[in-house]
Amino acid sequence: MKLQSFMHVTAVSVLLCTGLVSDAQTATAQVIDFGQIESFETLGTGTQRGGSPPKTIVDDGEWHTVMFTILDSNAEAKIYWRSPDGPQTMIIHGRSVKAFQTAGEFKIEALGDATRSFKYGYVQFRLKSNKGT
């Protein structure tokens, strides 16, 4: 059963990453310790519009890795998350794939007015207990 779960997670991750195939020259690498993943938790897609309140993806106080993909965009995406070092924010311009390690909080917001938006997908993994924290 573990192999089947691993294959499911791998397939979903590959699907989320396909949005960057044409932008391969601008892609960056991020290190993910797959040995720290306890379980696949959820995946989702959606559209975030400017002027809307931030959408909460994670708000449970648990450790997660969120693989976040912007598939199409005419707005800047503002990402809020709580890292092991404290609250963080990041602005993402255009299509992108990023991985975030969260300490239980992850939100997204489209900057601009209601004519601006971005389409996104994400995969959320629960991490094993983080070394006694």
Give domain status of residue 132, yes or no: no
Give domain status of residue 56, yes or no: yes
Residue 29 φ then ψ, to 5°: -100, 145
The pTM of the full predicted model, rounded to 2 decimals, is 0.74
pLDDT confidence of residue 74: 96
* Number of compact structural domains in the chain: 1
Residue 47 φ then ψ, to 5°: -125, 130
* Residue 132 pLDDT class (50, 70, 90 cuts): very low
Q: What CATH number does residue 68 fall under? A: 2.60.120.10
Amino acid at 108: I
Give domain status of residue 76, yes or no: yes
Domain span at residue 74?
A: 2-23+37-127
Average pLDDT over residues 115-121: 97
Q: pLDDT higher for 73 or 11?
A: 73
pLDDT tens digits along 19-31? 444 444 444 555 6
